Every structure is written in C-alpha cells, then in structure tokens.
Amino acid sequence: MFLKTVLADGQAEQAVIREMKARAAGARGDIEQTVRAIMDDVQARGWDAVCEYAGKFDGKAPYIVAPSELEAAYAACAPSLTAALEKAAANIRDYHEQMLIKSWEWERGSGETLGQTVRGLARVGIYVPGGTAAYPSSVLMNAIPAQVAGVGEIIMVTPPTENMSIEVLAAAKIVGVDKVIAVGGVQAVAALTYGAGMIPQVDKIVGPGNAYVAAAKKLAFGTVDIDMIAGPSEVLVIADHTANPTWVAADLLSQAEHDRLASAVLLTDSMAQAQAVSCEMERMARALPRWEIIRESVAGYGCAIVFEDLKEACKMADMVAPEHLEVMTAAPRELLPYLHNAGAIFLGRYAPEPLGDYMAGPCHVLPTSGTARFFSPLSTDTFLKKTSIIEYTRDALQGYAQDIIALAQSEHLDAHANSVAVRFAEEAQDEKC
C-alpha cells in the first residue's frame, strides 16, 4: 500500500509516535556550532560581519527595498492574487482584533488598586524565506497580528534572491510593513538580535526559515524573544467511514508536499477507509509536480492507524499533538471535548487545512513536533507585553504589613521585611512617646 497501515494494539501506535519524535530531532541536525560562530561574529563585528556573510550566502550586500519596488511588485502580480491576498488580510485582521486584550484595573478592597497595562512591543523582526520557499501568506500571518497588537515598528527581512519574490513584496505592500530589508539566513537573524548597521535590534523575531534560521532563532532567545522553534510540517486526520476518501487523501497530500520530512497521518476506525485513502493518495500524488517529495515523505513519515474506537484515536492525537488536526467524521463536534493538544483543529468536511493556511483568519504559524502540548499559535498575544500595576494606600498596606514581614523573615530576607516595617516605625515610636 502507498500509505502503510497498522492496527492499533497499544504498541504499533506508540512506535509511530517514536518515529515522529526522532524525525523532529533529526531535522534539527548538527548545525548549531556553525550557526553559533556566525551569531558570535555578528555580535562582535556588527555590520561588517553581516555584509561579509550576506556576500557569501546571499550573493550581495543587504539593502533596503524601496517602497517603489514594493509598488512595482504589487502591480506585477495577477489581480486575482492581490485580491486574494487583500481578502485574506482582512480576515486575519478581523480574527485577531477579536482576541485583543486591553489594559485593566480592579479595586480589590479599600485602598487596594491592582491592574495590568497591555501594550504592543516596540519593534519586531519578521523573517520571510526566499527562493523556492517564498510564501506571501506568511507575511500576512506574521505582520497583521503584530499590527493589531500595536507593535511600534515592523521590520521584514528576506533573502535578496536573484529574482526576489514579487508575491512576497506585494504582500508586504498590502500589509504596510514599515521596512523591508534584503538580507537572509543566520546573518539576518543575528542582525535583528544584536543590531547591526541599518538593521536595528528588535524585541522579538518571528517567521519561518530553514534549519539554520531555526537554530539562529534558538540562540537568539534570551537576548530577544522569538515565536517558536518550528519543525517539519505535519497533519493528522481523524476520519470515520463517512468521510470522502478522495478528500481525506487530498488533505494528507497537502502537507506531504511540503518536504521530505513532512508527516501525514490518518487515524480511523475503518480498515476499508484506510485502504481507500491510500489508493486515492497514490493516484493523485503521481500527477502532482512534487511527486518525488511526496513519495519520500509518505514512505518515511506517513501512515494510517486503525482503531476500534475513535475516542482511542483522540488519545493518540493528544499524544502526537499535531500542528494541524482535521476531524472528518459524521459528528466532528462530538470529538472536540476529547482533543486537547493541537496547533489548529479543523472540524468537518468543509474545513480543509489550506483554509487555515490562507484565508480563515487564525494564524498559520503553529507549534510543531508535539510542542502543541504547551505552545500556542502565533497571534495578537505573541506581540503584547504585560506589566502589573500595584497601588496601595497607607491603611491597605498596614493591613498586610505583619503578614509580609513574617513571610520575608521566613525566607531570611530581612531587608524585604524592613522595607515594609520602616513605613510604620516612626508612627509606632510616636505612639510609645
């Protein structure tokens, strides 16, 4: 069979999870040493190092992409594409405006005012891949949530490939990115991390990239914030006998075509469904331009697992914690309470994964490699910084003074205790007099 199929028995499905975890670890590779050397060099030598590595890896020195070039790229795109990008941008903005949280204050008691200020980060860097992996949709998905959050300045970096993607530049024009700089690779991440020449230091770096870019972002974390460390793409589909096998196969292939390490997994309670999906995948895949990539991806990291009960399939899905999780069953919402770990959940036969990639509105930058157990999708929240506000009157503080002193002394932090005690020491002395 094109899609290898196993019967769930408590062991076979666990082997699948182990293979997926090994795949994620293998994808990272042993490149951190090379990346660290470049990061350290840029930190030490700044702009000269950035230009040196840009000449070596990008083929030219970094430069600012002029607004006129963005306008020209927009004009050169097919009207149908720019219309689709603008429609997607509107949907993304609408969705993320719904989740925007505001600053707030609360009076817990007499003289006790607590709250939180919520504001966007001052400056954010967005990495957008170039070459064959040029995705204008990623410009929208990274920049618009930042704008909704109120980020002060958005700087986009993208490799100055020989034929820089006009679609990517058109997307930057549609969104209104503040500055586009033609520089890619580790040197771009390093420049955004430490600041170099015309590239200022940012507060956070987001966006996809190859294994070197991912390693650079990992090393940047702590000096700046990052969104996440992304691994190979993945989709997991839960389907019962009512699902159209052609549609299921098409959805699995939509992720398998990304790269040879992409994972496409089907969980079902029907062996007939698994076999039908496998046949449909092979039939459709052979006609696709990326057939060789799909063939290797499916052979290495694709499979169908047949369960007796779909609730057991949900347990498996939670252990995998996939980037994309589709539920194509007769009553998909009935399984939703059993699904806790996924980057995005797509319910029903008319919610294919590409809907989320391009148009629905939620961000397609999602946790991978099982990290959906503890990471969330990129969103407006990603670009917000929250600060606690505490304001007490004299009487309110006095009501807690002895409790605070007791806690501080229990931790042998006498200066902490004194910080509170000193405020009432003079009054206590006056009372004695």
Kindly report, residue by residue over 107-163, the tens digit of the pLDDT: 998 999 999 999 999 999 999 998 767 899 999 999 999 999 999 999 999 999 776
**Average pLDDT over the chain, rounded to whole?**
94
Report how far residue 27's alpha carbon sits from residue 23's, in angstroms, rounded to the nearest whole number.
Answer: 6
**Annotation: binding site for substrate:** 233, 255, 258, 324, 357, 411, 416
Looking at the structure, tell me whether residues 359 and 397 fall in a common domain: no
**Annotation: binding site for Zn(2+):** 255, 258, 357, 416
Predicted confidence at residue 26, as pLDDT, reads 54
User: Is the per-residue pLDDT at 38 higher than 90?
Assistant: yes
Percent of the chain with pLDDT over 70: 96
Looking at the structure, tell me whether residues 19 and 42 fall in a common domain: no
Strands 324-328 and 153-158: unpaired
Predicted confidence at residue 427, as pLDDT, reads 65
- Domain's final residue, options 345, 374, 403: 374
User: Is the per-residue pLDDT at 28 higher than 60?
Assistant: no
pLDDT band at 411 (very low <50, low <70, confident <90, very high): very high
Predicted confidence at residue 229, as pLDDT, reads 87
Looking at the structure, tell me whether residues 52 and 184 fall in a common domain: yes
Whether the CA torsion 357, 2, 263, 324 is positive or negative: it is positive
**Span 350-378, pLDDT tens digits:** 999 999 999 999 999 999 999 999 999 99
Looking at the structure, tell me whether residues 221 and 277 fall in a common domain: no
Query: Which range marks the domain in which residue 68 is found?
Result: 32-228+381-385
Beta-carbon contacts of residue 107 (< 8 Å; ≥ 6 apart): 113, 114
Predicted confidence at residue 342, as pLDDT, reads 98
Across residues 37-61, what is the average pLDDT? 96
Looking at the structure, tell me whether residues 16 and 58 fall in a common domain: no
Q: Find the angle CA(332)-CA(338)-CA(343) to the nearest 5 degrees.
A: 80
Looking at the structure, tell me whether residues 364 and 415 fall in a common domain: no
**Annotation: binding site for NAD(+):** 127, 187, 210
- Positions marked active-site: 323-324
Looking at the structure, tell me whether residues 84 and 121 fall in a common domain: yes
User: Is the per-residue pLDDT at 396 higher than 70?
Assistant: yes
Number of domains in the chain: 3
Looking at the structure, tell me whether residues 288 and 357 fall in a common domain: yes
Predicted confidence at residue 218, as pLDDT, reads 95
Percent of the chain with pLDDT over 90: 87
pLDDT band at 210 (very low <50, low <70, confident <90, very high): confident
User: Is the per-residue pLDDT at 84 higher than 60?
Assistant: yes
Q: Per the structure block, which two tokens stand in for 17?
A: 């999870």
CB-count exposure of residue 69 (10 Å: 0-12, 13-18, 19+): middle
Looking at the structure, tell me whether residues 63 and 184 fall in a common domain: yes
Predicted confidence at residue 24, as pLDDT, reads 59
Predicted confidence at residue 406, as pLDDT, reads 98
pLDDT band at 29 (very low <50, low <70, confident <90, very high): low
Starting at the edge strand found earlier in the chain, the sheet holding 104-109 runs 104-109, 112-120, 384-392
Strands 63-64 and 204-206: unpaired
User: Is the per-residue pLDDT at 6 higher than 70?
Assistant: yes
Q: pTM for the whole thing?
A: 0.93
pLDDT band at 15 (very low <50, low <70, confident <90, very high): confident
Looking at the structure, tell me whether residues 255 and 134 fall in a common domain: no
Give residue for tokens 């930058």: 365
**Span 219-248, pLDDT tens digits:** 999 999 999 988 889 999 999 999 999 999
Predicted confidence at residue 22, as pLDDT, reads 74
Across residues 397-403, what is the average pLDDT? 97
**Annotation: binding site:** 127, 187, 210, 233, 255, 258, 324, 357, 411, 416
pLDDT band at 272 (very low <50, low <70, confident <90, very high): very high
Looking at the structure, tell me whether residues 37 and 135 fall in a common domain: yes
Q: How many CA atoms lie within 13 A of 237 on its CB side?
A: 34
